[in-house]
Structure 1
Amino acid sequence: MAKVKRLLLILLLLISAMGIVFASLKIYETSNQYKVSASKYGELEEHYQKENRSLSHINEDYVGWIHMEGVDVDYPVVLGEDNDFYLTHNFYREEDFAGAIFMDYRQSGNKQLDKNTIIYGHNMKNGSMFGNLSQFLDSEFYEKNSFIQLDYLEETYTWEIFAAYETTRTDWLQIDFQNTEEFIHYVEDAKESSVITPTIEVNEEAHVLTLATCTSRNDEERVVIHAKLVEKEV
């Protein structure tokens, strides 16, 4: 009986040891994936700075570059044929769990901006991609970091954030509007949902930029940020 107990104890110890080894390997693998992904996007930033804002020779889906102070957002933006491919592929079109920062495939992709331009990115645990977007839910942080720069099709656009919230709804996904009243309703609904309360006027002439990522709690819940176009530089 004692021999059986000893064997069971040894077996349990072996199973525990195997579990620790497996967990350690998994942590190492994930950590390495983060490093590889960060390295690739670091290379792209160097290309972007050196090559006069042109990365289309690397990926024909390239449409611009997004920069946001305070949240380490400095990434190329792509526009694909659907909203699935760049969830699992990086800017080089390689399989990558970090994916890419991408526009909603319904966007026109023309120099004439849509009334609402939507951009997605993963909520990465290390804060990369759109992993820090939830910081804009804090009013104090927002007051110091309220602007977004988007270089889009060789023109620079500056946007000021006017709403930020978490939601499981999908009405924020609207890009085109049938009339002025529908657009104003969209804007007012965004403001009512917002946990920050900036006093920014968004009238019927405005263009909106919407950023979205998953929350860390729920795959169906999104952090959504809305910003108004305030400046355009050619």
Structure 2
Amino acid sequence: MSRTTDRQSRTRKRKNLILDILIVLLVLVMVFCGVRIIQALYSYHTGTKAYHALQKEAGVTEKKTGTGSGSGSSEDGIRVNWSKFNRKYPDVKAWLWQKDTVINYPVAQSSDNAYYLHRLLNGKWNGKGTLFIDFRNTHPFTKDFLTIIYGHRMRDGSMFWTLADYRKEAYRKEHPDMFLSTPKGNYRLRIFAADTIPANSPKYQFDFPGADSRRTYLRWIRAHADMYDSGVSVKARDHIVMLSTCTYEFDNARAVVFAKLEPVSK
């Protein structure tokens, strides 16, 4: 065999070896991606199944709250068996529900904002996590002017996926309210504004020392948020809720929806 033929043979072997390595790497990447997809789908399935079980465990049933005002959906609500459910899950502070949507979830609160980010109420890891109140809210829904609830925007359409839809006028009109049940009282959440803000926005605010600070906050919403003719009048004496989830318009963007709390009968 000539030196030229020998060099060509070695070159072919090196190329074949490189090709084999690339094929193996490609297969490994495909296997890895496949495993991750299966894990995500399994996490979605497990989370969905767990929340359906929690709805039954909490005895969540739909009811009518009275004639109310505004749209027909404002007359709807739920009942929750709080005496039984709170004994087992003391971290749960409320149940959030919205007619004709996937929102039908418990709302917990921990000593930090990390615990329920990727945990279900039973403490098990799950990508859906649990809707949770910011730990800095000391008197959510009652004495606190602003209560903040966080939740993931899951790609299977669950949890807070629909919050970003409030930037669309048609969706706003079709879903003007949510319903919040707590052990101490029930509320209608009358949605009046939506916005996209950075995760480090100063509007994640908890200190409102007086009426002036509340008015300043409401003026900011009116000036910067996506307001619409909801017919909801919000004053400094009222209590409001911010629902917050991830969105993707820019790095660390958050879609937020503001709602006024209106007490309703149990």
TM-score, normalising length: structure 2 = 0.80
User: Does 2:129 match 1:129?
Assistant: no
> Shift of the alpha carbon at 1:140?
1.2
Provide Cα deviations, 1:130-163, integer angstroms capped at 9, x if missing partner.
Answer: 1221011111100110101110124210021111
1:210 counterpart letter in structure 2? M
- The offset of 1:175, in angstroms, is 2.9
- 1:157 to 1:113, Cα distance in 2 relative to 1, 3 A: farther
Give the Å deviation of 1:70: 4.7
Q: What is the alpha-carbon distance in structure 2 between the residues aligned to residue 229 and residue 112 of structure 1?
A: 9
Residue 80 (structure 2) pairs with residue 74 (structure 1): no
How has the CA–CA distance of structure 1 residues 174 and 8 changed in structure 2, closer, same or farther, with 3 Å as cutoff? closer
Q: CA deviation at 1:219?
A: 5.4
How many residue pairs match? The answer is 234
Unaligned 5+ segments in structure 1 are none
Structure 2: any 5+ residue segments left out of the alignment? 1-10, 61-79
Say whether 1:115 aligns with 2:145. yes
Asked if structure 1 preserves the Cα contact closer than 8 Å seen for 2:140 and 2:147, the reply is no
Q: Give the match for residue 34 of structure 2.
A: 24
Residue 187 of structure 2 aligns with which residue? 157
The aligned amino acid for 2:220 is D
Cα 1:175–1:70, aligned 2, differ >3 Å: closer, same or farther?
farther
Moved more, 155-164 or 121-130: 121-130
- Within 5 Å, give how 1:88-107 maps onto structure 2: 88-107=118-137
Structure 2 counterpart of 1:215: 247
Q: Which residue is equivalent to 1:185?
A: 216
Call closer, same or farther: CA 1:32–1:218 in 2, change over 3 Å.
farther
Task: Assess, with a 3 A threshold, how the Cα gap between structure 1 residues 226 and 19 changes in structure 2: closer, same or farther.
Answer: same
Which has the higher Rg, Structure 1 or Structure 2?
A: 2
Please, which of 41, 51, 54 is the counterpart of residue 51 of structure 2?
Answer: 41
Within 2, Cα distance between the matches of 1:26 and 1:111? 39
Name the % identity: 26
The alignment's C-alpha RMSD in Å is 2.1
CA contact (8 A) 1:47 1:55 kept: yes
Shift of 1:5: 2.5
User: CA–CA distance in 1 between the matches of 2:141 and 2:228?
Assistant: 31
Distance 1:210 1:202, change over 3 A: same
Which region of structure 1 is more displaced relative to structure 2, 63-72 or 144-153?
A: 63-72
Q: 1:11 to 1:79 in 2, by over 3 A?
A: closer
| Map of 1:12 onto structure 2 | 22
- CA gap of 1:219–1:152, structure 2 versus 1, over 3 A, is farther
Question: d(CA) in 2 for partners of 1:16 and 1:110?
Answer: 51
